[in-house]
Structure 1
Amino acid sequence: MSRYETRLKDYLRRERPSYRIFEGLQELVRSVGQLHNNRLYVNVAQWDQDPVHIPIYYLDEHWLEECAEDGTVATNEQDEHIPVWISDRQVQTWFELATFESIVEVLKDTGQPVTLQMVIMAVKYYEKHDTYLDYEEVKAVIDLWSVLTKVRNHLTE
């Protein structure tokens, strides 16, 4: 099968919901490869405080345009259209789904188990540096953090 045929097959098998609400990061990670590329929205301040449990909104751009025509959208602080029913949640564009999926896929490329902590670290790194961390880089940071935590605990005993 050619690369084009593989990509077309992947495109055709993906779901196309108008919107979807992920109750947390774990649910979003489990959906990698299932949805068409659209934007993900979060309350960025809440994401920084609790990236595991923050709701993440997947909103289809064409659906948002239809909602705008129906008058069922509001405008957030970034002048983006969002559904009225989430206008009080201070959400804004976070990532395109394809970007989020790429962050996760870079971690999974080694075939090693990927933890939610690793995904969070890779996402936050991407937010700041606009580049990916691979599995070995994330693992090294986690290992270093573990050692530093043990040293701190030892010194405070």
Structure 2
Amino acid sequence: MECFKHLDELIRRIEKMEWNEWIYTNLSAFQRDPLYNVYYIISEEECWDLEEAGQTMKNHCDEAIPASIADREVQSWLEIATVQDVIDVVRRRGEEPDILLIAKALRYYHEQDAFME
């Protein structure tokens, strides 16, 4: 499991990550402040291994998550590929986006299930 304590940390590494992994976060905290929120990447294989070892719990969405982060009220947020796509769409505007614009575009995508144009 990888943990990122700031959106900028996650975005700097996003291009090097497996595209089909899910990012987990506390959505209430994300709505309050997407920049200083904690993001987790938990591979399916890791979840399976933890589940076999009895080290997972079900969250409020009935998703198996590591017991070590169960108190943080995390749930699946977006796939890495989706975050990469959101950033690519913003980049097509012609300039390198700053972290505030990326945060706004990610929030828009999560709420609207559409890219911010």
Higher share of residues assigned helix:
1
1:2-60 Cα offsets, whole Å, 9 max, x none, are xxxxxxxxxxxxxxxxx210111001110121011211000000110011111100010
Whole-angstrom CA distance in 2 between matches of 1:108 and 1:93:
25
Q: Kindly indicate whether residue 93 of structure 2 is the aligned counterpart of residue 107 of structure 1.
A: no
Q: For residue 66 of structure 1, what is the aligned residue in structure 2?
A: 49
For 2:15, what is the secondary structure of its paired residue?
Answer: coil
State the AA in 2 paired with 1:34: K
For 1:41, what is the secondary structure of its paired residue?
Answer: strand
Structure with more contact order per residue of length (Cα contacts < 8 Å, sep ≥ 6): 2
Q: For residue 108 of structure 2, what is the aligned residue in structure 1?
A: 125
Aligned residues: 116
Q: For residue 24 of structure 1, what is the aligned residue in structure 2?
A: 6
Whole-angstrom CA distance in 1 between matches of 2:53 and 2:94:
46
Structure 1 stretches of 4+ with a deviation exceeding 3 A read none
Q: Is contact 2:24–2:75 with CA below 8 Å preserved after alignment?
A: yes
How large is the RMSD of aligned CA atoms in angstroms? 1.1
Q: For residue 25 of structure 2, what is the aligned residue in structure 1?
A: 42
| TM-score, L = length of structure 2 | 0.93
Whole-angstrom CA distance in 2 between matches of 1:59 and 1:99:
16
For 1:94, what is the secondary structure of its paired residue?
Answer: strand
Whole-angstrom CA distance in 2 between matches of 1:81 and 1:63:
11
1:87-146 Cα offsets, whole Å, 9 max, x none, are 100000101111111111111234412111111111111112111124xxxxxxxxxxxx
**Structure 1 stretch displaced more, 66-75 or 125-134:** 125-134
Whole-angstrom CA distance in 2 between matches of 1:65 and 1:59:
10
State the AA in 2 paired with 1:27: E
State the AA in 1 paired with 2:42: L
Largest Rg, 1 or 2: 1
What percent of counterpart residues are identical? 29
